[in-house]
Structure 1
């Protein structure tokens, strides 16, 4: 996953260099291990100087986390595009599955990257920080879809948190199994567990109560 180039020519060039550095970091770190690779080696693999690397990223962790940069916005956009009357569980399952498929959809290389992130404490900490940010973004979209005030209702944050817990759990099981377990089946199993809680809000409302998103 890379960020979509946009903006001015200078911004697009900057994004291209950042993406190349991220790809170089992911390739090296997934193959050699996080502690075995230096910034100099990442810069050399990307064809730039160490000084150039530090213009874009403060650390190896930052270069890898760039891989995750657009995922939260992507989840929000997927959720916003779901049909207005779709149940929360179905809308969130689709949202989560799109991100899981983006992570797990490229076989061996993607598996090594996911394992690198989940099995390296420094990277896992950054990944969890990102998920906390995504929870707020998803909660705001859940609240918008259901006509709730996220500052009053508990449901949006809880629903977003459950969906992201499912996302993380599926990736963890898939990576721990070394790619043997099917991420689509794992996603179905995860949502089978949380669907009753996610759809409580629908069952508690009268038919037709769910508003059309503004």
Structure 2
């Protein structure tokens, strides 16, 4: 990155750090943009050069997760069962989102407990589902326009992701997110690996 890009990234990261700490401590609705800017040591005008709203500050926490999941899935061995490939893809984002720090836990609880943020999180997941489905279709030589499997499998994997985050949040960080992910995929693996989208409807008995 150029010097200007690095400077912009530093300011953006500092705004995000300050906002996440303040929002997690005080609550989303109770914090104003002016307060976030003051904590970060910038003007309100500077804040709006980087973010359009408070929601966007938090959503940056999620911004690269979908890209990371798809990249991880694309890098898995071609002969790996879909459930295992998807488990690794989801783990990539579980580690990024659930981490092991108290701040990460506070941010996850903030997102899951704030309707406006949860809505944005679900919007992101819809895009992630499409991206993962496209990657699965390529791995399995399926047509994502006609085969049901890629979208269904991606949706199941992301449901597991959301369930893991919710359980980790509800346990106040006591449960290990990787262990939760492993348990979740142990439940859904038979469905992911038994169907490849190429079978026709069941024959009449």
Q: Would the TM-score normalized by the shorter structure come out above 0.5? A: yes
What is the CA distance between 1:14 and its match in structure 2?
2.2
Matches of 1:71 and 1:52 in 2, distance apart?
Answer: 26
Q: Partner of 1:99 in structure 2?
A: 93
Q: Partner of 2:163 in structure 1?
A: 169
Q: Partner of 2:187 in structure 1?
A: 193
Q: Partner of 1:87 in structure 2?
A: 81
Please say if residues 87 and 202 of structure 1, whose CA atoms lie closer than 8 Å, have aligned partners that are also in contact.
no
Deviations 1:143-193 (A, max 9, x none): 111111111111111111001000000000110111122222211221111
1:52 maps onto 2:34 in alignment = no
Change (3 A) 1:126 1:204: closer
Matches of 1:203 and 1:77 in 2, distance apart?
Answer: 22
Please say if residues 150 and 157 of structure 1, whose CA atoms lie closer than 8 Å, have aligned partners that are also in contact.
yes
Q: Partner of 2:203 in structure 1?
A: none
1:149 maps onto 2:149 in alignment = no
- Report the secondary structure of 2:191's partner residue: helix
Which deviates more from structure 2 when the two are superposed, residues 155-164 or residues 184-193?
184-193
Q: Provide the aligned C-alpha RMSD in A.
A: 1.7
What is the CA distance between 1:204 and its match in structure 2?
7.5
Deviations 1:118-150 (A, max 9, x none): 111111111111111111111111111111111
Q: Partner of 1:210 in structure 2?
A: none
Number of matched pairs: 199
Deviations 1:73-98 (A, max 9, x none): 00000111111100000000011112
Q: Partner of 2:18 in structure 1?
A: 24
Deviations 1:34-90 (A, max 9, x none): 122110111112121001111111110011101111110000001111111000000
Q: Which runs of 4+ in 1 moved over 3 A?
A: 201-205
1:74 maps onto 2:68 in alignment = yes
Matches of 1:104 and 1:60 in 2, distance apart?
Answer: 21
- Report the secondary structure of 2:172's partner residue: coil
Unaligned runs of 5+ in 1: 1-5, 206-214
What is the CA distance between 1:10 and its match in structure 2?
2.8
Which deviates more from structure 2 when the two are superposed, residues 26-35 or residues 98-107?
98-107
Matches of 1:203 and 1:193 in 2, distance apart?
Answer: 20
Q: TM-score, normalised by structure 1?
A: 0.88
